[in-house]
Copies of this chain bind each other. A is one copy, B any other.
Amino acid sequence: MFMHNKNLMYTVRVSEPDPKLAALMLEQFGGPQGELAAAMRYFTQGIADEDPGRKDMLIDIATEELSHLEVIGSIVAMLTKGVKGKLAEAAEETTDLLANITQGNGSHTLSLLYGGGPALTNSAGQLWNAGYIDSIGEPTADLRSNIAAEARAKIIYERLINVTPDPGVKEALGFLMTREVAHQKMFEKALYSIDNNFPPGKMPGMPQYTDKYYNMSQGDGDARGPWNQGEQWEFVDVAFGQGPVSGGEGKPTVRLAAEELAAVEQTAARTKSRTDVNPVTGADLGAGPGAGKTTTTAGKV
């Protein structure tokens, strides 16, 4: 059961309204690396996890992320407070209002559609969707997803800090960024508390394909490093035109029943390309009467 304490987790002090900056902040409210995605990622995992310690940690952090969502949402609300009132009350000349909300980067949509309240979109107005959440219900994968998600969120906060002139906003972003670092450390500890967490899951790989590095991109720029050299790797230069790495004929096959085969052949006959004609085409028609060489028609029309 969730409860709410009316104090923010972090005291937000914004210097002055700035709808343009507000729109940037949405990146961490309703963006892919934002706080709702974080909270829901851990919450959906925590509900279904059987391990008591990990479950506790996941819900602790999910709850903290909801508290962060409130912090960043409150920043947005403060930054838009000025324009919100003016727009609702038509407190300015129309042209001033228009200029005010169309300074750039999405602040017009934030003002017009969402009335200055924090919206579950990113800074470009893209609606949040649950495709941002990559929980799959296997801790040896999910914890790695969480580690990565925290790393990404840390970077987005770092970038926002780099472009934010308002000292109060900057400080709050610093807090939020720091907590992502702390969360990443927690998830790392939880992952490595699972014995034999690599490879993830239960099933071992096929030994003949586990240690091969296939050089699929070739030319000036080919390079070697610990990811494809050393005793644990077999480096394979794939030759263009070679057969499958599995051997075999390199074409997909399936056994069809007789009536299936008949139907397939019927389709093939109906949609067969004739290679013995050079048909006049719509493009030929469209190119106009003087289009010349491409219209050498065959006997088709």
Asked whether A133 is an interface residue with its Cβ less than 8 Å from the other chain, the reply is yes
Q: What are 25 A-B interface contacts by the 8 Å CB criterion?
A: A1-B67, A1-B244, A4-B218, A7-B241, A13-B252, A16-B256, A32-B131, A40-B120, A48-B77, A59-B216, A64-B214, A77-B252, A82-B260, A94-B165, A108-B123, A121-B126, A136-B156, A139-B271, A184-B199, A194-B271, A194-B273, A198-B286, A225-B275, A281-B282, A285-B285
Q: Are A273 and B130 in contact (CB under 8 A)?
A: no
Contacts of A13 in B (CB 8 A): 248, 252-253
Least Cβ distance of A172 to chain B in Å?
8
Contacts of A293 in B (CB 8 A): 231-232
Known A175-B206, A192-B285; further 15 A-B contacts with Cβ < 8 A? A3-B63, A6-B218, A7-B220, A10-B244, A33-B134, A47-B77, A53-B224, A94-B162, A97-B163, A113-B156, A127-B131, A134-B152, A191-B286, A232-B294, A289-B300
Contacts of A227 in B (CB 8 A): 53, 57, 185-187, 189-190, 193
Least Cβ distance of A39 to chain B in Å?
9
Q: Are B73 and A47 in contact (CB under 8 A)?
A: yes
- Mask of A260-279 contacts with B, CB within 8 angstroms, 1/0: 11111111101111110111
Least Cβ distance of A103 to chain B in Å?
7
Q: Are B241 and A48 in contact (CB under 8 A)?
A: no
Q: Are B85 and A73 in contact (CB under 8 A)?
A: no
User: How many copies, total?
Assistant: 6
With known contacts A131-B131, A241-B5, A263-B85, A56–B217 Cβ distance under 8 A? yes
Q: Are A64 and B216 in contact (CB under 8 A)?
A: yes
The 7 closest A-B pairs by CB, nearest first: A115-B137, A124-B125, A11-B248, A6-B219, A7-B250, A85-B263, A198-B286
Contacts of A221 in B (CB 8 A): 6, 52, 55-56
Contacts of A123 in B (CB 8 A): 108-109, 112-113, 125
A296 to B198, CA, bound (A): 17
Q: Are B8 and A250 in contact (CB under 8 A)?
A: yes
Nearest B residue to A29 via CB reads B44
Which among A54, A70, A137 has the greatest number of chain B C-beta atoms within 10 A? A137
Q: Are A193 and B226 in contact (CB under 8 A)?
A: yes
- Which of B6, B155, B199, B268 touches A138 (beta carbons < 8 Å)? B155
Q: Are B9 and A245 in contact (CB under 8 A)?
A: yes
Contacts of A81 in B (CB 8 A): 254, 256, 260, 264
Contacts of A88 in B (CB 8 A): 138, 159, 201-202, 263, 267
- Which of B1, B267, B286 touches A9 (beta carbons < 8 Å)? B1
With known contacts A113-B27, A189-B279, A5–B12 Cβ distance under 8 A? no
